[in-house]
Amino acid sequence: MNGKFAGLEIEVEKPQRMPLLHPNTRQPLRTGKGEEAYVEVYSADSKVRREHDRAIQRRRLNMRGRGRITPEELEAEAVDLLAALTAGWKLVTLSGDALDVPFSAENARELYAAPALAWIREQVDEFAGDRGNFPQSSSKS
């Protein structure tokens, strides 16, 4: 943004690299060669998030009078949001082996939906919502 509020913005439209932390040791996951696991994440303030929220609101408005939303639908919406906020990754197993699962929206949904991988979902959700993870915008007034 340029103009009277320039200098106040943070960079919410560029994904940032979140180091993936081991769920028990809280240390960054790395391969034996020292390559760090990461997930590239958009801010919860990003256009990606706003568009996702609007699509959900439209769907819910169109559902009026056709029943209530279920807990399963709410969970699926949360998974879809995290998949939308994810721009890429490099995954490493808990034992330090490279995990060659290519990034795709479908793979991201599968990752975030798995109960045994809730620790990854929680890290991504927390990272996206923490504005401190996104640098000051470089726009000038």
Give the pLDDT mean for 96-104. Answer: 96
Q: How far apart are CA 37 and CA 19, in angstroms?
A: 6
Instruction: Please give the pLDDT value at position 138.
Output: 76
Give residue limits of the domains in the chain.
16-131
**Position 96 pLDDT exceeds 80:** yes
Phi and psi, residue 130, nearest 5°: -95, 105
**Position 115 pLDDT exceeds 90:** yes
103 touches 89 (CB < 8 A) = yes
Quickly list H helices, 90-130. 105-113, 118-129
Amino acid occupying residue 18: M
Whole-model pTM: value is: 0.89
**Position 141 pLDDT exceeds 50:** no
Phi and psi, residue 133, nearest 5°: -85, -5
